[in-house]
Copies of this chain bind each other. A is one copy, B any other.
Amino acid sequence: MGRKKQSRVTLQEVAKHAGVSRATASLVVRGSPNISKETREKVLKSIKELGYIYDRVAANLRSHQSSTVGLIITEIGNPFFSELLVGVHEALDKEGYTVILGTTFDSPDKQDALLATMLEYRVGGVIMSPVPGSSPDMVERLKQWGIPVILVARKMLSEEPFDYVGIDNVAGGRIAAEHLIEQGHRRIAFLGGFSNSSVWTDRKKGFCEAIEQAGLEMDESLFVQSPATRQGGIEAIKRVMQHPQPPTGVFCYNDVVASGVMLGLKEQGIVPGKDVAVVGFDNIPESALFSPSLTTIAAFPDRLGAKAADLLHRRMKGDEEEAKKLILQPELVVRESS
Does A242 have its Cβ within 8 Å of any Cβ on chain B?
no
* Shortest Cβ distance from residue A52 to the other chain B in the assembled complex, whole angstroms: 11
- Residues in A34-70 with C-beta less than 8 Å from chain B: 53-58, 60-61, 68
Residues of B within 8 A of A6 (CB): 144-146
**Chain A residues numbered 1-43 whose CB sits less than 8 Å from any CB in chain B:** 1-6, 8
- Docked pose: A286 CA to B82 CA in angstroms: 14
Given known pairs A79-B79, A291-B290, the reply for A5 and B101 (CB within 8 Å) is: no
Q: Which residue of B lies closest to A84 (CB)?
A: B76
How many monomers of this protein are in the complex?
A: 2
- Residues of chain B within 8 A of A196, CB atoms compared: none
Q: Does A182 contact B (CB under 8 A)?
A: no
Q: Which residues of B contact A100 (CB under 8 A)?
A: 68, 98-101
Given B2, B83, B120, B289, which contacts A259 in the complex, CB threshold below 8 Å?
B289
Contact of A83 among B57, B77, B120, B146 (CB under 8 A): B77
Q: Is A85 an interface residue (CB 8 A)?
A: yes
- Cβ < 8 Å to B, chain A residues 254-299: 259, 263, 285-286, 289-292
The interface residues of chain B lying within 8 Å CB-to-CB of A2 are 320
* Residues from chain B with Cβ under 8 Å of A289 in the complex: 230, 259, 263, 286, 289-290
Are A98 and B83 also in contact (CB < 8 A) when A8-B145, A289-B290, A290-B291 are? no
A-side interface mostly? mixed
Q: Are A117 and B98 in contact (CB under 8 A)?
A: yes
Cβ 8 A contact of A53, one of B83, B120, B146? B120
Q: Is the CB of A1 within 8 A of B160?
A: yes
Residue of B nearest to A266 (CB): B291
- CB of B103 within 8 A of CB of A101, answer no
- The smallest beta-carbon distance between A141 and chain B, in angstroms, is 8
C-alpha gap A263/B285 in the complex (Å): 13
What residues make up the interface of A, taking CB atoms closer than 8 Å to B?
1-6, 8, 53-58, 60-61, 68, 75-77, 79, 82-83, 85-86, 89, 98-101, 103, 116-117, 119-122, 143-146, 160, 230, 259, 263, 285-286, 289-292, 320
Shortest Cβ-Cβ A-B pairs, 10 listed:
A291-B291, A5-B146, A56-B120, A101-B101, A76-B82, A82-B82, A57-B122, A286-B286, A54-B120, A53-B119
